[in-house]
Chains A and B, each alone.
Chain A
Amino acid sequence: MEKNKTRFRGIASGLTKNKRRNLLLSMIAIIALTVFLHFTEQGATVGSYEVRVLNLCAVYAVLALSMNLINGFTGQFSLGTAGFMAIGAYTTSLLIMPVSVKAKVFYLEPIVPWLENVHWEGNFGLFGALLVAGLITAVAAFIIGFPVLRLKGDYLAIATLGFSEIIRIVFTNTQSVTNGSTGIKSIPNTANIWWTFGVMAFFVVFMLRLMKTSYGRAFKCIRDDEVAAESMGISLFKHKMLSFVISGFMAGVGGGLMASVLGAITPLLFRFILAYDILLIVVLGGMGSITGSIVGAFLITTAKEWLRWLDAGFNIGPIKVPQIAGLRMVVFSALLMLVILFYRRGLFGNKEFSWDGMFRLIKNAPKRVAAWFKPKPKGGGAK
C-alpha cells in the first residue's frame, strides 16, 4: 500500500482510491470528447448533417439548463424561454451579419442606420455578439422580473408566457430592426462544434459551481419551501430575480448560438411551442438535475431527427403507413404526457451523474433486474 500511495503525487495526492479513480475517469472522458470533437470538426467522424444535429443538441442543452435553473432549481415555473431566446437570436444575428448581406435581407424596408454598418467578424465577433446578446437578454429579464416575480406558480407561468408572446409580437412588427415576419436569413454559421460544445461545457461548469455556492443553496431552499426559506432570512425576491436573470442570460446566449447554427430565424420560430419543446427536455431529464438536462437534450434532439422516418411513411410488416406530416411530434407530445403521468421524476430526478453512482448502479444491476421478476410483497410497505 505504501508503495502504491507514493506513486501518485501532485494533484492526486491525498485523495482516496475512489476519488483518484474518478478523477482519472473524468480526465479520460474529457480527452475522449475533445478528440472526438476535433475529428468531427475536421469532418472525419460524421457527415455535415450529423454535425448540425450535434450542434443543435448542445444548443438545446444550454437552453434546457436555462429553463432548469429557474424551473427545476428555483421552483419558479417560468415559460418565457422562447421570448428570451428571440432577443438573443436577433441581437446575435444583427451583430454578426456582413453589411452587404444586411442590405439584401432587409429589402422590404431598410435597416435602421445605427445597425446598418455593424459587422462583428469571425470568432471574436461571435464571442462579443453572444456576450452582448446574453447581457441584453439579462437586462430584459431584469425588467420583466420586477412585475412578474411577485407572482407564483401558474400565474407566473402564464405571465412569463405572455411576455414571451409580447416580445415575439413586437419583433414581428418592428420591420426596420428585425425584418418583421419575413425573418432574417443568411446568418453566418460561425458557431461550429467547438462553439456549441464549448458554451455548453462552460454553462455546465458554471451551474455546477453555482449550485455549490450560498446562492445555489438559497435557490433550492426557495424551491423546497418558500415560507421556510423566508423565515431563515433568505430574500425571496432577490434570489428569484438573480435566478431569473441568469436564466435569461443563458437563454439569450443559447438563442444566439441557435441563430448562428440554423442560419435563418423568423419570429414564428420563437412561439411558445419552442418553450414546450425545452420543457419536455427538462421534465424528461429531471427537474433540478444538470445531468438530466444534458442527457435529455441529446436524447430528445437526436430522437427528433432519427424519428423523421415516422413523417416520411413506413411499413409495419405488410401494412404500409403513408406519409403523415407531424406524426413525429405526436410521439413527442405523448412522451411528455407519459413521463409526467408515470415517471414524474424524469430520468435523473434531482440527482447528478457521478462515477460512484454509476459503479453502484452496475454493481446493483443484477439485484434490481431480479427484483422485477419477484412477486411484489403485498400490504403497506414503507415508501
Chain B
Amino acid sequence: MALFWQNVANGLTVGSLYALVAIGYTMVYGILRLINFAHGDIFMMAMYFAFFAISIFYIPWYIAIILVLVATMLLGMLIEKTAYAPIRNAPRISLLISSIGVSYLLENLATVLFTGVPRQFPSIGSLQNSLVIGGVTIQQLAIYTPVVMLILVALLLTLINKTKTGMAMRAVSKDFETAKLMGVNINRTISSTFAIGSMLAAVGAIMWGQKYPQIQPYIGVMPGLKCFIAAVIGGIGNIKGAVVGGLLLGMLEIMIVYAQPGLSGYKDAFAFVALILVLLIRPTGLFGEKVTDKV
C-alpha cells in the first residue's frame, strides 16, 4: 500500500509540473492559434539558466530563481518579437514552421553554448530530501510542487479575470480582429502572454530539475510535447483545462507503469496514445468550447 501512495505522490508531482508548462501552451494557443513548438525549449533554457546561476556563479538560490524567471521571460518575449510577430498575418502553417525553426535553433544553440554533455541540476533548499508521512516515504517536492502550482494558477486566474491586461487577453483570444478594432494593444497583450507562459515554464523547469536532475539540450522536447498533449486533453485555450489535463496525464503515466511494470519502456508513448484518443473522441478536450469552422 505504501508503494501505491508513493506512486500517487509521484504522479501528483509530475502532473503538477506538466500543468505548469501546459499553461504556457494553452495561453499562446488561445491567442495566436499556434502550437508553440519552442515552448519546450524555453523550458530547457530555463533549466540551463538555473544551472549556471546556482552551480557556476554561486548565486543564492532564492535570488537565482528570480533571475532565472526574468531571463526566461525575456527569452520568451524575444522569441515572440523576432520569430512570430513579423509573420503574424501569414498563413498559420508558416507560423508553425517558424516555431519549429525556433525550437531547432534553441536546441542547436544550446548544444554549442552548453555542450551536449549532461549536467547535474543543483538541488534547491531541502526539496530533494525525503519525508515520511504515515509510513509512506516521499520527497518534499511532492508536497511543494502541487502547492506552488495551485498558488500560481490562482494568481494567474485572478490576473486574467480581474485585471485590464487579463481582460485584453480574453478579448484577443475571443476575437483577434474585433479586439484590435476596439483599441486593445495587440502587441503588448501577446508579449505579456508569452512573458507569463515563459515564467510558468521556468518555475516548472526549476521544479523539474529537482525531480529529474540531469540537463542536456534535448531535455525540453519530451516534456514539451507531453505538456502540449496535456493542454489538448484539458481543452486547449482553457487554463483550468490545462491544469486538469496535466494532472491527469502525470497520474496516468505513473500509474500505468505502476500497474504494468512491463510497459515502462513504452512510457513516453502513453501520452501520444492519449492524445490520439482524445482527438478522436472529444477533439475539444474536457473543458474546451466547441469551435465551428467559418467559411
Chain A interface residues toward B at CB < 8 A: 75, 77, 147-148, 150-151, 153-155, 157-159, 161-163, 165-166, 169-170, 172-173, 227, 272-273, 276, 279, 283, 324-327, 329-330, 332-334, 336-337, 340-341, 344
- Complex Cα–Cα for A150 and B277 (A): 12
Contact for A170 among B105, B225, B269, CB less than 8 A: B269
> Could you tell me if A340 and B112 are in contact, using CB atoms closer than 8 angstroms?
no
Contact for B93 among A153, A163, A332, CB less than 8 A: A153
> Could you tell me if A344 and B87 are in contact, using CB atoms closer than 8 angstroms?
yes
Interfacial residues of chain B within 242-286, with CB under 8 A of chain A in the complex: 265-266, 268-269, 271-273, 275-276, 279-280, 283
> Could you tell me if B272 and A344 are in contact, using CB atoms closer than 8 angstroms?
no
> Could you tell me if A325 and B272 are in contact, using CB atoms closer than 8 angstroms?
no
> Could you tell me if A165 and B269 are in contact, using CB atoms closer than 8 angstroms?
yes
Q: List 20 A-B contacts (CB under 8 A).
A: A75-B93, A77-B93, A147-B276, A153-B96, A162-B271, A162-B272, A165-B225, A165-B268, A166-B272, A169-B268, A169-B269, A279-B100, A326-B108, A330-B109, A333-B108, A333-B109, A336-B105, A340-B97, A340-B101, A344-B90
Q: Which residues of A contact B109 (CB under 8 A)?
A: 330, 333
- Complex Cα–Cα for A147 and B33 (A): 22
* CB closest chain-B residue, reference A330: B108
Instruction: Please judge, given known A-B contacts A330-B112, A340-B98, whether A172 and B272 are in contact too, CB under 8 Å.
Output: no
Contact for B279 among A155, A273, A329, CB less than 8 A: A155
- Complex Cα–Cα for A326 and B98 (A): 21
Q: Which residues of B contact A336 (CB under 8 A)?
A: 97, 100-101, 104-105
- Complex Cα–Cα for A33 and B266 (A): 47
* CB closest chain-A residue, reference B268: A169
> Could you tell me if A163 and B272 are in contact, using CB atoms closer than 8 angstroms?
yes
> Could you tell me if A154 and B35 are in contact, using CB atoms closer than 8 angstroms?
yes
> Could you tell me if A162 and B225 are in contact, using CB atoms closer than 8 angstroms?
yes
Is B92 at the interface (CB under 8 A from chain A)? Answer: yes
* CB closest chain-B residue, reference A77: B93
Q: Which residues of A contact B276 (CB under 8 A)?
A: 147-148, 159, 162-163
Contact for A330 among B105, B225, B228, CB less than 8 A: B105
Contact for A161 among B94, B115, B116, B225, CB less than 8 A: B225
- Complex Cα–Cα for A344 and B87 (A): 10
- Complex Cα–Cα for A150 and B276 (A): 11
Contact for A337 among B83, B90, B116, B272, CB less than 8 A: B83
Is B135 at the interface (CB under 8 A from chain A)? Answer: no
Is B67 at the interface (CB under 8 A from chain A)? Answer: no
Q: How many of chain B's residues have a CB under 8 angstroms from any CB in A?
A: 44
- Complex Cα–Cα for A165 and B229 (A): 14
* CB closest chain-B residue, reference A148: B276
Instruction: Please judge, given known A-B contacts A337-B105, A340-B97, whether A154 and B34 are in contact too, CB under 8 Å.
Output: yes
> Could you tell me if B105 and A77 are in contact, using CB atoms closer than 8 angstroms?
no
Instruction: Please judge, given known A-B contacts A147-B280, A169-B268, whether A77 and B112 are in contact too, CB under 8 Å.
Output: no
Q: Which residues of B contact A158 (CB under 8 A)?
A: 35, 225, 228-229, 232, 275
Is B102 at the interface (CB under 8 A from chain A)? Answer: yes
> Could you tell me if A325 and B112 are in contact, using CB atoms closer than 8 angstroms?
yes
Q: Which residues of A contact B98 (CB under 8 A)?
A: 337, 340-341
Extra 20 A-B pairs, beta carbons < 8 Å, given A162-B275, A273-B107, A330-B112? A151-B279, A153-B92, A153-B93, A154-B34, A159-B272, A163-B276, A165-B269, A166-B273, A169-B268, A170-B266, A173-B266, A279-B97, A325-B112, A325-B116, A333-B105, A333-B108, A337-B98, A337-B101, A340-B101, A344-B94
> Could you tell me if A173 and B265 are in contact, using CB atoms closer than 8 angstroms?
yes
Chain A: minimal CB distance from B29 (Å): 8
Q: Which residues of B contact A340 (CB under 8 A)?
A: 87, 94, 97-98, 101
Most chain B beta-carbon contacts within 10 A, residue among A165, A172, A332, A333 = A333
- Complex Cα–Cα for A69 and B227 (A): 30
Interfacial residues of chain B within 90-148, with CB under 8 A of chain A in the complex: 90, 92-94, 96-98, 100-102, 104-105, 107-109, 111-112, 115-116
* CB closest chain-B residue, reference A157: B96
Q: Which residues of A contact B232 (CB under 8 A)?
A: 155, 158
Interfacial residues of chain B within 38-63, with CB under 8 A of chain A in the complex: none
> Could you tell me if B105 and A334 are in contact, using CB atoms closer than 8 angstroms?
yes
Q: Which residues of A contact B229 (CB under 8 A)?
A: 158, 162
Chain A: minimal CB distance from B254 (Å): 17
Is B295 at the interface (CB under 8 A from chain A)? Answer: yes
Q: Which residues of B contact A155 (CB under 8 A)?
A: 232, 279, 283
Is B183 at the interface (CB under 8 A from chain A)? Answer: no
Chain B: minimal CB distance from A123 (Å): 37
Chain A: minimal CB distance from B61 (Å): 30
Chain A: minimal CB distance from B235 (Å): 13
Q: Which residues of B contact A341 (CB under 8 A)?
A: 83, 86-87, 98
> Could you tell me if B115 and A337 are in contact, using CB atoms closer than 8 angstroms?
no
* CB closest chain-A residue, reference B293: A227
Most chain A beta-carbon contacts within 10 A, residue among B112, B225, B273 = B112
Chain B: minimal CB distance from A302 (Å): 19
Q: Which residues of A contact B87 (CB under 8 A)?
A: 340-341, 344
* CB closest chain-A residue, reference B105: A333
Chain B: minimal CB distance from A353 (Å): 23
Q: Which residues of B contact A150 (CB under 8 A)?
A: 279-280
Q: Which residues of A contact B269 (CB under 8 A)?
A: 165-166, 169-170
Chain B: minimal CB distance from A108 (Å): 14
Chain B: minimal CB distance from A39 (Å): 37
> Could you tell me if A159 and B100 are in contact, using CB atoms closer than 8 angstroms?
no
> Could you tell me if B280 and A326 are in contact, using CB atoms closer than 8 angstroms?
no
Chain A: minimal CB distance from B222 (Å): 9
* CB closest chain-B residue, reference A146: B280
* CB closest chain-B residue, reference A339: B101
* CB closest chain-A residue, reference B91: A344
The 10 closest A-B pairs by CB, nearest first: A162-B272, A333-B105, A326-B111, A333-B104, A329-B108, A173-B265, A337-B101, A336-B101, A154-B35, A330-B108
Instruction: Please judge, given known A-B contacts A147-B280, A325-B116, whether A157 and B35 are in contact too, CB under 8 Å.
Output: yes
Chain A: minimal CB distance from B92 (Å): 6
- Complex Cα–Cα for A336 and B101 (A): 6
- Complex Cα–Cα for A325 and B109 (A): 10
Contact mask for chain B residues 197-229; partner A; CB cutoff 8 A; 1 contact, 0 none: 000000000000000000000000100010011
